[in-house]
Structure 1
Amino acid sequence: MAATPIKQEYRLQNLSCASCAAKFEKNVKAIPEVQDAQVNFGASKITVIGAISVDQIEKAGAFDGIKVTQSAARALEQSTPFYRKKENILAGISLLFVILGYALAALQGEAHPLPVGMFIVAILVGGIGIFKTGFRNLARFEFDMKTLMTIAIIGAAIIGEWEEAAVVVFLFAVSEALEAYSMDKARQSIRGLMDITPPTAIIKRAHGEHFHELELPTEDIEIGDILIVKPGQKIAMDGIVISGISAVNQAAITGESIPVNKTVNDEVFAGTLNEEGALEVRVTKRVEDTTIAKIIHLVEEAQAEKAPSQQFVDRFAKYYTPAIMIVALLVAVIPPLLIGDWQHWIYQGLAVLVVGCPCALVVSTPVAIVTAIGNAARQGVLIKGGIHLEQLGHIEAIAFDKTGTLTKGQPAVTDILTKDGWSEDYVLQLVAAVEKQSQHPLAKAILNLLHNKNLPALIPAEFQSVTGKGAYATVDNHIIYVGSIAWMATLATVDKDVENQVQKLQRQGKTVVAVVCQNKLIGLIGIADQVRDESKNVLQKLNALKVKHIVMLTGDAEPTAQAIAKSLAITDVRASLLPEEKLMAIKNVHAQFGAVAMVGDGVNDAPALATANVGIAMGGAGTDAALETADIALMGDDLTKLPYTIGLSRKTLRIIKENIIFALALKLIALLLVIPGWLTLWIAIFADMGATLLVVFNSLRLIKAKK
């Protein structure tokens, strides 16, 4: 049996541009031991299938000075100051010789050997990296940005344009340095996520009959260990609180700014901040399986997945570069054949080569996608790919699951109606005593209200459950029956007034629990799932964002669904749906209105989430099903993140379109200067550098996009 190929991930340092990433990937794939390799430019990572060493990978990336570390290694790349980077030092020295060259040219004349010598030194010092790669590419007939620059600079030197060649070398170095800086800025969103978990933690481990405290790297902590978390410390691992009460700031995972109270049996996440009390936490996941580890992995994978616009740009760039080379050759040859002046038109052809560098075009989409996905992750929204980010920007309709999405998913008592002078609080105490033994969600709602009202609990005796009807017990010397109105009608007289009250509550979408004592109906309790406080505001914001249609899908009965929909001003309601019927409803909405998003809880809505153009899961934190099923997960169970995410996706689409227009328009304007013969190498490099910086800094505006 053949051995399973080894799959390993490595982190990369100094990966400067998208075309360099493509070339690096090609070089690694060419190593004999490698079956496959994939570079993730956005996350600065490479995945390799095959048994090779770090040295071999670094050798494949030597052309760009790429450094490689094991992905699992805790130490992240050390940020090298701008002024200490080798290429920037060489660019500075090159600038010095350019200035000297111009100073000597002013004194001695441009043709004097001394200024020419200064310009040659500037070209050699600043362009050594360009020439190494350019000549190697020329030998292999590979034409990238550095190949075009090498041809242009050598051509300019041959026709005696020394000073322009020197300035072009310097400006190109500046362009590359700024592009590398801005790409690094875009990647900081991932680095920020990786930095939020502490590298070590204090744990308590059983040793015989005693417990010992020891500080361990998080990689060595095992499931079942007891984590000791002091006030002000970050929680190092996912787990369940077994001792203590505290407020925990979960902003890093869920984007919630308000700390959440945690007590025994509550779940806590790695990377969150314990603010007040001391906690003991039983570890439930290894470090590589924690929620934050999954978020980092999914965000990095998302950045590797090419969005449709990026796929278009990549295809376009593939044909664009050879086309520019042909245009440059025609500019250099045809006009002088017709009108003479070979030196001038060869110079124009070289300038066309420089202005035609596809760098700005290639980088126009990935920087925007990387920045937007990183921004969303910091806000507690996990977008699992550029394709989903783009699709969300085209959404025309949104379908909402009701329970747990538009509503809290937790029934609450809304009405207590009593008869014959029985007090509301006493009836609540009697019902709560009977329901104390029940596991039903409605029982929990009644017990929660008793707790919130701070009423003393009464002690039940002789409790009996009656399947499908309710329960009864002796409480405070009364036999109390609690259950459906149909069952109560067999135990006591239900007059017309009571029937009207029951029908009114049911029309409002409420479940009615009736209470009988000694053959007399003494009260009715209305229970309903509560609409989220933010739901109405969110729907108004979606209307403001010009979402054409909003529909509510639910498995609940029609009266309950209509009552909730009415309170939220939703006109399209589809009730009593099974999971497969929700799927058909999504297809129907898509046929009627166009691209549709489905918002649900990621478990029983899985078929509908998968069928929608974009599936959005509520409450991704700690829910594996939500992270796996949906295209987008709102980590904090916070519906207000939905308008923010749609707004972000639309802004990203707008910026990508602007970037492509900027990149092509600036180059087109520069190329039109060829017609009157006005294009110079200076203008060419400024057009190329200007276009690149323009699209990069335009994309970085997405860092500031707020909820």
Structure 2
Amino acid sequence: MTKRQKTMLLRIIIGAVLLIAAVLVPYEGPWRFALFLPAYFTVGWDVLWRAVRNIANGQVFDENFLMALATMGAFCTGFFGEGEYPEAVFVMLFYQVGELFQGYAVGKSRRSISSLMDLRPDYANLETDGEVAQVDPEDVPVGGVIVVKPGEKIPLDGTVIEGSSTLNTAALTGESMPRSVGAGESVPSGCVNLSGVLRIRVEKEFGESTVAKILDLVENASSKKARAENFITRFARYYTPAVVIGAVLLAVIPPLFMGGWGQWVQRALTFLVVSCPCALVISVPLSFFGGIGGASRQGILIKGGNYMEALAAADMVVFDKTGTLTQGVFKVTEIHPEGMSEKELLELAALAESWSDHPISRSLKEAWGGEPDRSRVGEAEELSGRGVRVQVDGRTVCAGNRRLMDEIGARCPENTAAGTVVHVAVDGAYAGHIIIADQLKADSKDAVKELRERGIKTVMLTGDSKAAGEAATRELGIDQVHTELMPAGKVGMVEKLLGERTGRGRLAFVGDGINDAPVLSRADVGIAMGALGSDAAIEAADVVLMDDKPSKLSLAIRISRRTIAIVKENIWFALGVKGLVLLLTALGVTGMWLAVFADVGVMVLAVLNATRALSAR
């Protein structure tokens, strides 16, 4: 508990003791109410003060006003008959117990998320002229060299220039499996160095680092409210004045015809106690807060309650293929030259792709046996969605797909291979093709299966050939595939799929977050996968899966659906109980004690239910 919560607990205990003492005093005279005032003011003075302060600021209709009006009114019923002094104190006492519990639950949720997202480093070991000094990470310049010892967090994004180690990435990915790194590899901030000493050249200032972006994302997630949260805000705006007016009418109109002013005033005050909307106002945002925190613990960053709501409603998931469902690690499997040797064809393709760091380019260079001689390569031009055109030894070499060959008039054979085909032409003459195969990720098949079991349609979009796309579709069990798509074609296809929807379902697109930014933005909810250290993914997507596992998507949907279910349970439970007790109170069936349960009891139960979202998985 915080110091403030401990103080409140002490006040509650003292107030409870004073209440018991007042009840035990045998005095029944006209000043009996004075016996209960010490207990009442001990436990409720801050509620009364907030009510007065809010009224002065023009904020009249809130739970403080309702509690102050109802409890003070219970004291005033002594003027019309027997005052409900013990009930008034107990209502305030129980309300403060509920507030204490709610504050503790919210604090626990925040601490859980804070401990999970405890990524912010306290210091960085900056190396200057052979000396190492601890400095604030924000003071480390780009290009500076930092030293990270075993057990320390990596404070800034950078590249390892010396040393090798294993990293604990659990705070970013939710996975406990260590990641091995060595010289030349990029490392994101927020990971914990487990073994060797690393010297790292800083690539980004602290404000642009992975840590800073993720912390900002989580801290601001609550600002993007779901429809359910906005509904509760609008509902409370009209509900509270309505019940106050209803209570006034209940106190005034029936006695004009039936008499018994004290009885009806008492019913009106009980009506006010029941009407407090705190169960809804507190539990619904807490549920979304808990759900976002629970997802974060699994390495799933959801940027707001609105995106969680959209994810829960997803009935179609559209996947990018390369790097999303596949490893993005291509290997040359077949070489088919025309008019030259296999070695010559592979050399030309490797030279043509020598300037690129695309996975297909890397596979060609690896098959060739390393980095080709770039001095032989002249002007290079990337042709979006088709391939490249470069000058090699004074000759024009085109390497790419069938569309590129058609453009330059080089006739190529029909492709039926289950892989990516790189066609090569030299000075407009077809020179052969190379088949490159990508490997599916280990859990891609299970991820698709889980989605289909949840009634979600799966679609795959790829720039690969029809044969390669259909082969992957059959192996994964995906419902629908669209192949040979250029980047703009993916956006068009997603728009077409959006137009084909029926009902209130949502379309989610899953991509690598780098090349798929336009499609991520166009979908109802964009999901970037394998985004560890990827700025583009964190910026473009609505949901970020920090590791490279497609199965996390099914988990994200499961967490979202459970959170939304908890929100709906709280809404219906709170409204149902309150509506019933309000009706019974107006009819005189219930008294102040049941009103206490309908207000504070419902709030406590709703908050308890909301905290389940934090452990959702």
* TM-score bin, normalised by smaller chain: 0.7 to 0.9
65, 80, 85: which one aligns with 1:162: 85
**Are 1:93 and 2:14 counterparts?**
yes
Q: Find out whether 1:636 has 2:547 as its counterpart.
A: yes
- Range with bigger deviation, 334-343 or 313-322: 334-343
Taking the aligned partners of 2:252 and 2:119, their CA distance within structure 1 comes to 59
SS of the aligned residue for 2:585 comes to coil
- 2:140 is aligned to 221
Structure 1: how far apart are the matches of 2:495 and 2:12?
A: 58
1:189-228, aligned counterparts within 5 Å? 189-206=112-129, 211-228=130-147
Structure 1 runs (4+) greater than 3 angstroms displaced: 109-113, 115-118, 136-141, 413-417, 427-438, 440-450, 457-473, 510-514, 523-526
2:608 partner SS: helix
Taking the TM superposition and a 5 Å limit, the aligned residue runs for 1:364-513 are 364-414=283-333, 439=354, 444-445=362-363, 506-511=416-421
Residue 338 of structure 1, CA deviation = 2.3
Alignment of 1:589-628 (within 5 A): 589-594=497-502, 595-628=506-539
- In structure 2, distance between residues paired with 1:446 and 1:612: 33
1:152 aligns to 2:75 (yes or no): no
What amino acid is aligned across from residue 496 of structure 2 in structure 1?
Answer: N
Instruction: Tell me the amino acid that sits aligned with residue 313 of structure 1.
Output: I
Per-residue CA deviation, residues 561-604 of structure 1 (Å, 9 max, x unaligned), is 22222221224211122222212211221222342111112233
* Cα distance in 2, alignment partners of residues 459 and 317 from structure 1: 66
- C-alpha change, 1:338 and 1:510, in structure 2 (3 Å) is same
State the alpha-carbon separation in 2 of the partners of residues 624 and 642 from structure 1: 20
- Indicate yes or no: 2:451 matched with 1:542: yes
Shifted more, 217-226 versus 259-268: the winner is 217-226
Structure 1 residues 110 and 205, CA gap change in structure 2 (3 angstroms): farther
- In structure 1, what residue type is equivalent to 2:86? E
Q: Deviations over 1:154-191 (max 9, x none)?
A: 11111222111111121111111111111212222442
Taking the aligned partners of 2:344 and 2:462, their CA distance within structure 1 comes to 33
| Offset from partner CA, 1:493-524 (integer Å, 9 cap, x none) | xxxxxx9xx98x9432354899xxxxxxxx99
Pair 1:96–1:112, CA change in 2 (3 A):
farther
- Which amino acid is 1:411 matched to? F
Alignment partner for residue 60 of structure 2, among 139, 142, 146? Answer: 142
8 Å contact from structure 1 (residues 509, 564) kept in 2: no
The AA in structure 2 aligned to 1:195 is: D
Distance change (3 Å), C-alpha of 1:572 and 1:461? closer
The residue number in structure 1 matching 2:166 is: 247
Answer whether contact 2:283 2:606 (CA < 8 A) is retained: yes
Aligned partner of 2:110 in structure 1 is 187
User: Which amino acid is the alignment partner of residue 507 of structure 1?
Assistant: A
Give the Cα separation in 1 of the matches to 2:107 and 2:447.
34
CA spacing shift, 1:449–1:376, aligned 2, 3 Å: farther
Residue correspondence of structure 1 range 662-677 to structure 2 within 5 A:
662-677=573-588
Question: 1:628, 1:348 → 2: CA distance?
Answer: 55
- How has the CA–CA distance of structure 1 residues 338 and 470 changed in structure 2, closer, same or farther, with 3 Å as cutoff? closer
Following superposition, the deviation at residue 89 of structure 1 comes to 2.2
CA distance in 1, matches of 2:11, 2:466: 73
1:621-647 Cα offsets, whole Å, 9 max, x none, are 222221121111112232121001111
For residues 213-362 of structure 1, what are the structure 2 equivalents within 5 Å?
213-362=132-281
Contact 1:507 1:563 (8 Å CA) reproduced: no
The alignment partner of 2:324 has SS state of helix
Residue 488 (structure 2) pairs with residue 580 (structure 1): yes
Write the distance in 1 (CA, Å) between the matches of 2:349 and 2:155: 40
Equivalent residue for 1:551?
459
Q: Is the 8 A contact 1:432 1:443 kept in 2?
A: no
- Which residue number corresponds to residue 80 of structure 1? 2
> SS state of the match for residue 215, structure 1?
strand
Confirm or deny: 8 A CA contact 1:193 1:296 kept in the other structure.
Answer: no
1:566 is aligned, of 465, 468, 474, to 474
| Residues 16-95 of structure 1 aligned to structure 2 (within 5 Å) | 80-81=2-3, 84-85=6-7, 87-95=8-16
Partner Cα separation in structure 2 for residue 458 and residue 166 of structure 1? 82
Q: Specify the SS of the correspondent of 2:12.
A: helix
Equivalent residue letter for 2:23: Y
Match of 1:121 in 2: 38
- Paired with 2:33 and 2:118, the residues of 1 have a C-alpha distance of 50
Aligned amino acid, residue 80 of structure 1: T
* Counterpart Cα distance in 2 of 1:151 and 1:458: 80
Pick from 25, 47, 66 the counterpart of residue 130 of structure 1. Answer: 47
Higher relative contact order (CA 8 A, sep 6+): 2
Deviations 1:272-309 (A, max 9, x none): 11112111111222222221211111122221111111
Once residues 126 and 375 of structure 2 are traced to their aligned partners in structure 1, the CA distance between those partners, rounded to angstroms, is 44
Alpha-carbon shift at residue 686 of structure 1 (Å): 1.8
Match for residue 177 of structure 1 among 95, 100, 110: 100
Q: Distance in 2 between matches of 1:245 and 1:375?
A: 33
The answer to whether the 8 A contact 1:396-1:593 is kept is no
Gaps of 5+ in 1: 1-78, 418-426, 451-456, 474-482, 487-498, 515-522
Aligned in 2, Cα 1:138/1:682: closer, same or farther, shift over 3 Å? Answer: farther
Q: Counterpart of 2:304 in structure 1: which amino acid?
A: G
Q: Indicate which of 585, 593, 603 corresponds to 1:682.
A: 593
Amino acid at match of 1:374: G
Q: Distance in 1 between matches of 2:40 and 2:377?
A: 91
Structure 1 residues 697, 448: CA separation in 2 closer, same or farther (over 3 Å shift)?
farther
Instruction: Give me the whole-angstrom Cα distance separating, in 2, the residues matched to 1:458 and 1:226.
Output: 29
Contact 1:428 1:446 in 2 (8 A): no
Residues 433 and 459 in structure 1, CA contact (< 8 A), matched pair in contact too: no
Distance 1:704 1:460 in 2: 52
- 3-state SS of 1:625 partner: helix
Distance 1:127 1:462 in 2: 79
Q: Secondary structure at the match of 1:528?
A: strand
